Amino acid sequence: MSDAAANKAILEQVYRRWHETRGGSLNEFFEIFADEIVWGSLAHGAAPVAFTAQARGKSEVRGYFDGLLEGWHMVYYRVHHFIAEGERVVMVGATAWTNKATGKTCDTPKVDIWRFQNGRAIEFFEFYDTAGLLAAAT
């Protein structure tokens, strides 16, 4: 199996469990992260979603997930496609999250770009509807 195929297979499992558990399989993500992972999000930490700020290393990425899971409830997370080439894997899908404080839901297309090295995720960046996220958060 090529590295691209192996990395894609890793993510297929992790995303499947993420959806099935509605965000309850966080440790499965952390098992594939390199210690020095760099994590980015399209909202770049804008208020009131400060948890989306760039994170470096597992402990800072934990802060991203703490903010997400403390403030939001997953409605669904669907994967439509994985595209893998070399050290990169792209997930194309859709997700919906409800803000626990406002009760509003952000339902958005989602694209995640991953970079792997030696079977570990070293970079991540996510694209989604930032206007929808901010509207649901306020």
pLDDT digits (tens, 9 = 90+) for 94-129: 999 999 999 999 999 999 999 999 999 999 999 999
pLDDT number for residue 2: 87
**Domain positions in the chain:** 3-137
pLDDT number for residue 77: 97
Per residue in 7-47, pLDDT tens?
A: 999 999 999 999 999 999 999 999 999 999 999 999 999 99
Distance, CA of 123 to chain centre: 11
Pick the closest to residue 89 from 121, 58, 63, 49 (CA basis). Answer: 121
**Length in residues, the chain:** 138
| Cβ atoms of residues 50 and 70 within 8 Å | no
Q: What is the CATH number of domain 3-137?
A: 3.10.450.50
Per residue in 33-83, pLDDT tens?
A: 999 999 999 999 999 999 999 999 999 999 999 999 999 999 999 999 999
Checking if the pLDDT of 137 tops 90, the result is yes
How confident is the prediction for the chain on average, in pLDDT?
A: 97
Checking if the pLDDT of 1 tops 90, the result is no
